[in-house]
Structure 1
Amino acid sequence: MSRPRYALYYAPAADSALWRFGSATLGYDALTGEDTSFAVPPGCEPAGWPALTEEPRRYGFHATLKAPFELADGRSEEQLRAFARNYAAGLESVPLAGLSVTALGSFVALTPSQPSEELQRFAFALVQAFEPFRAPLAETDKARRLKSPLTPAQHAYLEAYGYPYVGDAFRFHMTLTGSLPGEHATPVKQALETAYAAALPAGPVRLDRFALFKQDGRAARFRLIDYYLFG
């Protein structure tokens, strides 16, 4: 039986329009652990939408801060939660100019409308602060990561933090689709832009919390099990 995995994600408040939009797009509410009715973007085929969102649905609507990890020997979930509460108490919220629907390679995500050095510093500091809780990366997980082409810096990050996309390789994104066939990428992005504009007013976003997600086993979906408000 596989061990539980934990992840530190940004997830907006459960009563926010952003959480409702993301969860309905994926068809899964990670807080309740229940499937939801899909909000299929205009112009997209309802019958095909579940397949296009299958991969991100496993993780729930989020932006990765510290990627999934098993707990290090001698560490417990209770200790992780206590550390997270204390760590969040010393943080200040991080302002973003807004979020935009963006095509990142073959998938579509929400990304910051403007670069933010404050966000980059916050994310890397969090990765480093929680490193004592992370068990060494399993060889199977490491091999899976190495199937993707990595720069020397990303390879070093993988060795140091169990994830290659941290530090200057980090890009904040809230995934909305899985990998899309080439002919689908542009129309799906455009449809999600329309849906996002209709669901949320344009304007700044303030990151005022992070969340702890848990996966009971590798075949399970991730669940949001706690929020940690800054300050």
Structure 2
Amino acid sequence: MRYAIYFTPPADDPLTVAAATWLKRDAFSGRNADLGDLEGIDEDEQHLITEEPRRYGFHATLKAPFELATGQSEADLLAALQAFCGREFSFALPSAVVGQLGPFFAIIPGATHPPLQDFAARVVEEFEPFRAPLSDADIARRNPDRLGATQRENLLRWGYPHVFDAFRFHMTLTGPIVPERSATIAGVLDRRFSAFNQKPLAISGLGLFVETQRGAPFTVHSWHPLIGA
């Protein structure tokens, strides 16, 4: 069993529904969602490019997947998450946009938002006592030789390379897209997420996601509102 602490809007939020439809899977219910009109790509291509994010569910990684440390339990983790959310205030990202991170498409901030960076750092630090050390195989999967020095240090110290100054908030919508398809996929995503593009995004709660066994789809165990959500 692995756990992860992700940002995701509530189950009934319009963005959650739109993303579940695009990914063809709702991480809250575990059910497949009806894709509807693709307008520019065929269903086989859409299924292929969303395969990786579909397994994880619509989310932004804050505390990357981890096994529980010796002496910790799911009940302990749940209690700590409830307590954390009970003292953190909700806030809004001023503008979220559909953009690219390398070859991937995701919902990302229109500009770096320091309160979001600080919030993400607090999540990483707060839940570190619950994380078991990475195995050698887990470290190898991250291709540490291809990481920069800071990211390698983060991986070994915090279990994930993209934390603190290396953190970039993103809610993944696709796997890697070949350059000759990027413009088409960008257009499809702009249309499907037009209601949310360049609009504020409420950081209103955290989801505890679980993976029952390696390679299984992640599902939402529970969602916890921040103060004022």
TM-score (norm 2): 0.95
Instruction: State the 1:47 CA deviation.
Output: 2.6
Separation in 2, partners of 1:78, 1:121: 26
Relative to structure 1, the CA distance from residue 45 to residue 61 in structure 2 (aligned partners, 3 Å threshold; closer, same or farther) is same
Amino acid in the other structure paired with 2:149: P
What is the rounded CA distance, in whole Å, between the counterparts of 1:52 and 1:118 in structure 2?
32
Shift of 1:179: 1.2
Q: Deviations over 1:137-191 (max 9, x none)?
A: 0110101112562111111111110000000000000000011122112210121
- Residue in 2 aligned with 1:54? 51
Q: Report deviation, 1:201.
A: 7.2
CA contact (8 A) 1:107 1:185 kept: no
Partner of 1:122: 119
Q: How does 1:107-186 map to 2 (within 5 A)?
A: 107-146=104-143, 149-186=146-183
Query: Quick one: percent identity of the two aligned structures?
Result: 40
Match of 1:226 in 2: 222
After TM superposition, the structure 1 stretch with the greater mean CA deviation from structure 2, 42-51 or 150-159, is 42-51
Q: Does 1:8 align with 2:14?
A: no
Q: Summarize the alignment of residues 32-43 of structure 1 with structure 2, pairs less than 5 Å apart.
A: 32-39=29-36, 41-43=38-40
Bigger mean CA offset, 21-30 vs 183-192: 183-192
Shift of 1:41: 3.9
1:165 aligned partner, one-letter code:
H
Question: Any unmatched runs of 5+ in structure 1?
Answer: none
Deviation by residue 1:13-72 (Cα, 9 ceiling, x = unmatched): 111110011111100000111111224542111232111100111100001011000000
One-letter amino acid of the structure 1 residue matched with residue 206 of structure 2: F
In structure 1, C-alpha distance between the alignment counterparts of 2:16 and 2:223, rounded to whole Å:
13
Which of 180, 203, 209 aligns to 1:207? It is 203
Q: Which amino acid is 2:216 matched to?
A: A
Please tell me whether the aligned partners of residues 98 and 197 of structure 2 are also in contact (alpha carbons under 8 angstroms).
no
The alpha-carbon distance between structure 1 residues 147 and 160, as it changes in their structure 2 partners (threshold 3 A), is: closer
SS in 2 for 1:192: helix
Alpha-carbon displacement from aligned partner over 1:100-138 (angstroms, at most 9, x marks no partner):
010111110000122101100100111000000000001
3-state secondary structure, aligned to 1:87:
helix
Residues 1:171 and 1:40: Cα distance change in structure 2 (over 3 Å): farther
Which secondary structure does the structure 1 equivalent of 2:223 belong to? strand
Q: Distance in 1 between matches of 2:186 and 2:145?
A: 24
What does residue 69 of structure 1 align with?
66
The answer for the alignment partner of 2:87 in structure 1 is 90
Preserved CA contact (<8 Å) 2:11 2:28: yes
